[in-house]
């Protein structure tokens, strides 16, 4: 079978059927039909959004909230609370989708089940760059952060990937995790060096560092919109490529894929998504790890379906984590990033126990 060497990541359907069929290791009955995936995903997102709007540290009557949403007359205080909830829900949706899809691409590209922006240190690199930005240029807006987050994420991703390439394939999950840990430790030291001498920067940074969708205006999404659009386009188009890569690089090349170019493009997409999400909400760990695995268990191994499913599952997880964080510590709040870490850690442990790592 021949595929044109210059074919774009979305291969013609006649050829892509073959790689999609091959790694069929999931149990029977796990592959949900596509309409079910989309319908169920949309339903899940709808429920998560509804709960996020209805529940919070202040319990408001549902009728008031509906009235506020439909433009009815409500007290100013209620309108303000509902506005804030709409903002954080919107940001949660965008961040969740970005990080979830990013996780799918990273895991597929590296063929490493633990690849995730948090564990790979990409978030830490972005954080370091943001601190430098806060310190040197007195940044305080997301539109200002995003360039630094982007730069930091890119540099870190490249460094970690290069380090992991030094290890043999079987040891790569461990090496990547350690390379990520090394990057994290170094950037933590540097962040410490900057912040220790600067209380003002610490006060800005600690609110960003914790990973939260709250306290931000939804208009910041438009600041990173160009990055998000390009990132989503590149990442979502890489489904067929990821399917081929799952077979191994040699086979992929044999099938006529321009592996290097396509890899770079989809990696760029993943990094754009990770960086924009980090700029919006700060480092939110473990979402990129959990979402692809859960979705894969539901929809089967075809990466195009996993990408689509993650587009729904990521927002559900982040919005739900934000809602849970509002409820467990009322009248105070636990930030979404922390809820995600607490949910994600047992998941990581379970995953690691099933792996046969070097």
Q: Residues interacting with other proteins, by CB under 8 A?
A: 114, 118-119, 163, 166-168, 171, 173-175, 177-186, 188-190, 192-193, 195-197, 199, 202-203, 206-207, 209-211, 285-286, 332, 334-335, 337-338, 341-342, 344-345, 348-349, 352-353, 355-358
Q: Of 122 and 298, which CB lies nearer to other proteins in the complex structure?
A: 122
**251 burial via Cβ count (<10 Å: 0-12, 13-18, 19+):** middle
Q: How far is the CB of 334 from other proteins (least distance, A)?
A: 7
Query: Residues 201, 207, 209, CA angle at the centre, nearest 5°?
Result: 85
Helix (H, G, I), strand (E, B) or coil at 2: coil
Q: How far is the CB of 4 from other proteins (least distance, A)?
A: 38
Query: Residues 188, 193, 198, CA angle at the centre, nearest 5°?
Result: 115
Q: Of 213 and 308, which CB lies nearer to other proteins in the complex structure?
A: 213
In the structure encoding, which two tokens stand for residue 172, read together? 């790569």
What is the rounded CA–CA span in Å between residue 39 and residue 62? Answer: 25
Q: Of 92 and 325, which CB lies nearer to other proteins in the complex structure?
A: 325
Q: Of 311 and 341, which CB lies nearer to other proteins in the complex structure?
A: 341
- CB count within 10 Å of CB 186 equals 16
Q: How far is the CB of 266 from other proteins (least distance, A)?
A: 25
Helix (H, G, I), strand (E, B) or coil at 213: coil
What is the rounded CA–CA span in Å between residue 134 and residue 137? Answer: 6
Q: How far is the CB of 100 from other proteins (least distance, A)?
A: 18
Q: How far is the CB of 290 from other proteins (least distance, A)?
A: 12
Q: Of 259 and 345, which CB lies nearer to other proteins in the complex structure?
A: 345
Half-sphere exposure of 170 (CA within 13 A, CB side): 3
Residues sharing a CB contact under 8 Å with residue 86, sequence separation 6 or more, in sequence order: 53, 69, 218
Q: How far is the CB of 185 from other proteins (least distance, A)?
A: 6
Q: Of 135 and 258, which CB lies nearer to other proteins in the complex structure?
A: 135
Residue 4 falls in which region: left (phi positive, over 0), alpha (psi -120 to 50) or beta: beta
Q: Of 30 and 206, which CB lies nearer to other proteins in the complex structure?
A: 206
**What residue has token string 């700029």?**
279
Q: How far is the CB of 129 from other proteins (least distance, A)?
A: 16
């Amino acid at each position: 079978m021949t595929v044109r060497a210059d074919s774009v990541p979305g291969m013609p359907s006649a050829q892509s059927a073959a790689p999609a069929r091959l790694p069929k290791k999931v149990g029977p009955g796990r592959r949900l039909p596509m309409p079910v995936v989309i319908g169920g995903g949309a339903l899940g997102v709808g429920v998560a959004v509804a709960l996020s709007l209805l529940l919070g540290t202040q319990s408001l009557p549902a009728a008031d909230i509906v009235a506020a949403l439909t433009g009815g007359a409500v007290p100013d205080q209620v309108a303000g609370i509902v506005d804030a909830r709409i903002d954080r829900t919107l940001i949660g949706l965008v961040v969740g989708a970005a990080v979830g899809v990013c996780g799918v691409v990273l895991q597929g590209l590296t063929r490493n089940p633990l690849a995730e922006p948090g564990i790979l240190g990409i978030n830490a690199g972005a954080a370091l760059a943001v601190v430098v930005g806060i310190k040197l240029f007195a940044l305080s807006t997301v539109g200002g952060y995003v360039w630094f987050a982007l730069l930091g994420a890119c540099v870190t991703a490249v460094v970690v990937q290069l380090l992991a390439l030094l290890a043999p394939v079987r040891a790569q999950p461990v090496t990547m995790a350690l390379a990520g840990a090394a990057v994290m430790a170094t950037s933590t030291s540097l962040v410490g060096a900057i912040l220790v001498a600067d209380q003002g920067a610490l006060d800005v940074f600690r609110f960003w560092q914790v990973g939260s969708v709250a306290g931000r205006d939804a208009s910041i999404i438009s600041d990173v919109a160009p990055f998000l659009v390009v990132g989503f386009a590149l990442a979502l188009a890489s489904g067929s490529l990821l399917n081929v890569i799952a077979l191994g690089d040699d086979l992929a090349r044999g099938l006529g894929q321009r592996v290097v170019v396509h890899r770079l493009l989809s990696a760029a997409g993943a990094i754009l998504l990770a960086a924009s999400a980090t700029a919006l909400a700060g480092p939110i760990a473990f979402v990129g790890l959990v979402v692809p695995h859960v979705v894969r268990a539901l929809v089967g191994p075809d990466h195009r379906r996993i990408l689509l499913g993650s587009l729904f599952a990521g927002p559900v997880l982040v919005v739900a984590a934000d809602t849970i964080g509002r409820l467990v510590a009322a009248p105070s709040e636990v930030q979404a990033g922390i809820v995600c870490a607490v949910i994600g850690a047992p998941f990581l442990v379970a995953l690691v126990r099933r792996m046969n790592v070097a």
